[in-house]
Amino acid sequence: MAKKVLKFGGTSVGSIERIINAAKIIKREHEDGNSIIVIVSAMAGKTNELIDQSKAISKNFTRRELDVLLTSGEQVSSALLCGALNEIGVKSKSWMNWQIPIITEGENTNSRIININKEKINKFISDGGVAVIPGFQGVSINGDITSIGRGGSDATAVAVAKIFNADSCEIYTDVDGVYSSDPNKIPVAKKIDKISYEEMLELSSLGAKVMQSSAVQTAMIHDIPLEVKSTFTNRKGTKIFGQENIDYNKVITGVAYSKDEAKITLIGVQDKPGVAAEVFEPISKSQINIDMVIQNVSSDGKTTDLTFTIKREELDKTIDTIKNNKKIKFKELSFKKDVSKISIVGAGMVTTPGVTYKMFRALASENINILAISTSEIKISVIINDIDTLRAVKKLHSIFELD
Amino acid sequence: MAKKVLKFGGTSVGSIERIINAAKIIKREHEDGNSIIVIVSAMAGKTNELIDQSKAISKNFTRRELDVLLTSGEQVSSALLCGALNEIGVKSKSWMNWQIPIITEGENTNSRIININKEKINKFISDGGVAVIPGFQGVSINGDITSIGRGGSDATAVAVAKIFNADSCEIYTDVDGVYSSDPNKIPVAKKIDKISYEEMLELSSLGAKVMQSSAVQTAMIHDIPLEVKSTFTNRKGTKIFGQENIDYNKVITGVAYSKDEAKITLIGVQDKPGVAAEVFEPISKSQINIDMVIQNVSSDGKTTDLTFTIKREELDKTIDTIKNNKKIKFKELSFKKDVSKISIVGAGMVTTPGVTYKMFRALASENINILAISTSEIKISVIINDIDTLRAVKKLHSIFELD
């Protein structure tokens, strides 16, 4: 008998029919003799609806009250799911996080789970019950309702799997796994059967919205096997675990891309310690996220060029921030609005020489110009013109034998 | 400085605009130097929406989970109201009932408040804050979320007013008080400035949906002054307190009516102890509410006729129940489908002779036939043909000088 944590995302409980469907999946797992703890998100669209209401009242809606407001969404889906489980003969009970309790620390709307009391839940599941826990929420040491940020239900699932020492943590969602590229745009993209935590993290950060990154990180640290699978099909999903459990027969696991990027280059920045910090401090204070940063070695030993990418929608704000900050010194600012980032990800590239060269040659053969390059241990990202995106992804997908 | 409990009903917080409006009312009361505790209902329509969802999942939705589900409605409105108060500079904080706690006993969906911890709220309001408490909900001794039934926010308001020893309890709603009759149907109906708890109870039980009856009862027992007033106008509302505080210049305070009644008469029922119980036991077990019951003295000393009224929609079910229960013995069953109940209510009638006669004479002068009569200390109800309802109400409203 295995102990399983099953997490159902917003689309998986997005309607009454879907909640009933999720209950049937849980019943099947329960009848297979597994001990089950369920984590549930708010019904799809609910959290956004509540956020819209809060914004209509105040642009600076009190964070403590925002958490009271938003956590009501998971309360509703938990109760409905329990009702559906009981209706089909599966004994179940919901536990709001303050009832368990799941203790968090940190500020409202962005807290972290630091402890989970196992007593009540353990008793209930060892008596054969299915425990249903709303994701995303928590309670602070002083008894306030807290939340752990958007996508936080994944984090709850992994934290619960860790504390209860679960054999697996299954993430039920609206896609049937992680793909080698976006299946909507690259029809030859294949579902990946097994992927390492590290690759998953790189793909997540590149826009594969399958799982929240910090949850994958926690799973990686505590070596909790994850599985991402669809609520709507019976197909096998994607298993996520440590690299040591994967036989790599391919160098590259997936090709990801994100459009809507913009590139800024500051030409003639002084080449001395602290300059990058001076540039990025005001940008960070303006709540702008920097993605790639590339700085070449200085050719004259005095000045260098600093290139970085940001979300396209933040281009104007970023340029304003730089120009209004007199501390940032440079000769010239150039920018390119319509660029995208293409990345190849694969744990196999660590031990395989020539991957970088193979990527660049493939893009050159398609006459695609590379504007910037950034690499990590298991990822190579390039910035190219937006218009070349799909052509580049298809070429890389094929050349690395992912089709 | 007075301590006030302000309760806002579902329509008073039925939209973002209305929540902002309620916040302004609270701000005004707060700026007048009052110490304020606010009780808030779920946004209008929300509770029904959640009930519909639960019914779509199960006809026997687990009561414990139904309470988890429904109490989310008041959680949302509490948080939004606090956000609106903070936005206009009124320091406020919401307290879910488990955070206070407000302890209840009894079964889920129908529990009673037995204790409220004053500590946190008292500290916060004496520091000048406005405490916002969701109505309708509670927490049981063993830590389950409970609810105190539909309309339960009134009960929360009165219980809070009692425990915190508030100077008044103001019920903000979508009407501007209690009327001498239904103002939608009887245009000459007048708002009542002052009414006794007892009269209010009679009017409530007759369909004046202004306040939940058990809340009025609690207020009566503990002598908590109530005021029902509109959220949408600045007009004075209706004050509800003990009879000793009211100078009655009118014998009758109001004329109420309820259509949708049906009348059943069992002719030739045995006139011996226990017969009425035998008739009503199976009806009660079928969850049918009996309203008026009239039994005449036996003319032959052996049999009598038993008349009672029920909701019209339950007529068929009631007749079936009677016919299927062999224990109930009678000669004949007659029923009348289209009847209504007209009641005059007034604490003044206790000390004024001839009220009954005046009522009957008035109806006779309109050629309205009385099918059954029932009286209490401060109320006289008659059953008449449905078609005569408005004519009867108008005549009584006029004859008792309420126009």
Q: What is the DSSP string of B292-331?
A: EEEEPPPSSSSEEEEEEEEEGGGHHHHHHHHHH-TT---S
| B51 contact A CB<8A | no
Say if residue A137 is in the same domain as residue A15: yes
Does any CB of chain A come closer than 8 Å to the CB of residue B38? no
Same domain for B32 and B159, yes or no, is: yes
Shared-domain flag, residues A301 and A395: yes
Domain presence at residue A322: yes
Task: State whether residue B87 sits within 8 Å of chain A by CB.
Answer: yes
Q: Residue A250 burial by CB count (10 A; 0-12/13-18/19+): exposed, middle or buried?
A: middle
Are residue A163 and residue A304 in the same domain, yes or no?
A: no
Q: How far is CA A133 from CA A50, A108, A302, B68, B108, in A?
A: 20, 20, 58, 12, 20
Count of alpha carbons within 13 Å of A21, Cβ hemisphere only?
18
B50/A75 CB distance under 8 A: no
Range of B91's domain?
Answer: 3-174
A240 touches chain B (CB under 8 A): no
Reduced to 3 states (helix: H, G, I; strand: E, B; else coil), residue A339 is: strand
In a domain, B228, yes or no: no
- Structural contact between residues B163 and B83, judged by C-beta atoms closer than 8 angstroms: no
B331: exposed, middle or buried (Cβ count in 10 Å: 0-12, 13-18, 19+): exposed
Of A398, A321, A337, the closest CA to residue A366 belongs to: A398
Q: Which residues of B touch A20 (CB under 8 A)?
A: 57
Looking at residue B180, its amino acid is S
pLDDT at residue number B296: 75
DSSP A191: B
* Same domain assignment for residues A156 and A259: no
CATH assignment at residue A326: 3.30.2130.10
Pick from B132, B153, B174: which residue ends a domain? B174
How far is the C-alpha of A218 from the C-alpha of A200, rounded, in Å? 12
> Which chain A residue is nearest to residue B63, measuring alpha carbons?
A83
Same domain? A166 vs A275: no
Q: How far is the alpha carbon of B18 from chain A, nearest alpha carbon, in Å? A: 11
Token representation of residue B53? 């969802």
B157 in the same domain as B295: no
Q: Which amino acid is at A294?
A: I
CATH code for position B55: 3.40.1160.10
Smallest Cβ distance to A79: which of B69, B78, B98? B69
Q: Which of residues 134-163 of A touch B (CB under 8 A)?
A: 143-145
B53 touches chain A (CB under 8 A): yes
In a domain, A228, yes or no: no
Cβ-based contacts of A61 with chain B (< 8 Å): 83, 86-87
**Is the CB of residue B98 less than 8 Å away from at least one CB of chain A?**
yes
Shared domain check, B167 and B42: yes
Final residue before a domain boundary, out of A130, A158, A174: A174
Out of B60, B68, B86, name the one closest to residue A94 (CB).
Answer: B68
Residue of A nearest to B50 (CA): A76
Low-confidence ranges of chain B (pLDDT < 50): none
Same domain, B68 and B166: yes
Give B56's contacts in chain A (Cβ within 8 Å): 16
A205 lies in a domain? no
Interior angle at CA A326, CA A323 and CA A330, nearest 5 = 70
Q: Best interface-test mutation with B: which of A72, A109, A120, A133 has the largest number of B CBs within 10 A?
A: A72
- Chain A contact probe: residue of B38, B69, B130 with most A CBs at under 10 A: B69
Q: Do A82 and B68 count as a contact with CB atoms less than 8 A apart?
A: yes
| Residue A188 forms part of a structural domain | no
Which of A137, A239, A142, A132 is CA-nearest to residue A196? Answer: A239
Mutual angle of helices A213-222 and A152-163, in 10-degree steps = 10
Query: Does B66 lie at the interface with A, CB-CB under 8 angstroms?
Result: yes
Residue B225 falls inside a structural domain: no
Decide if B56 and A93 are in contact by the 8 Å CB cutoff.
Answer: no
Q: Residue A57: which of B87, B99, B145 has the nearest Cβ? A: B87
| Residue of chain A whose alpha carbon sits nearest to that of B101 | A143
- How far off is chain A from B28, nearest CA to CA, in Å? 18
pLDDT in tens, chain A (403 residues): 799 999 999 999 999 999 999 999 999 999 999 999 999 999 999 999 999 999 999 999 999 999 999 999 999 999 999 999 999 999 999 999 999 999 999 999 999 999 999 999 999 999 999 999 999 999 999 999 999 987 799 999 999 999 999 999 999 998 889 988 888 888 888 899 999 999 998 887 665 678 888 899 999 999 999 999 999 998 899 999 988 877 777 889 999 898 889 999 998 888 877 778 888 888 888 888 888 888 877 777 788 888 899 999 999 999 999 998 888 888 999 999 999 999 999 988 877 888 888 999 999 999 999 988 888 888 999 999 999 999 999 999 999 999 8
Within a domain: B261: yes
Does the CB of B200 have a partner CB in chain A at under 8 Å?
A: no
**Number of domains into which chain B is organized:** 2
Q: What is the Cα–Cα distance from B2 to A183, expressed in whole angstroms?
A: 66
Rounded Cα gap, residues B37 and B167, in angstroms: 12
* Shared domain check, A121 and A20: yes
Tell me the chain A residues in contact with residue B66 when contact means C-beta distances shorter than 8 Å.
79, 83
Q: What is the largest CA-CA distance in chain B?
A: 76
Do residues B132 and B271 both lie within one domain? Answer: no
Instruction: Return the closest-CA partner of residue B35 out of B101, B90, B117, B98.
Output: B90
Distance from the B95 Cα atom to the nearest Cα atom in chain A, whole angstroms? 9
**Is B137 part of any domain?**
yes
Task: Say what the pLDDT of residue A37 is.
Answer: 98
Task: Answer with the one of A174, A209, A244 that is the final residue of a domain.
Answer: A174
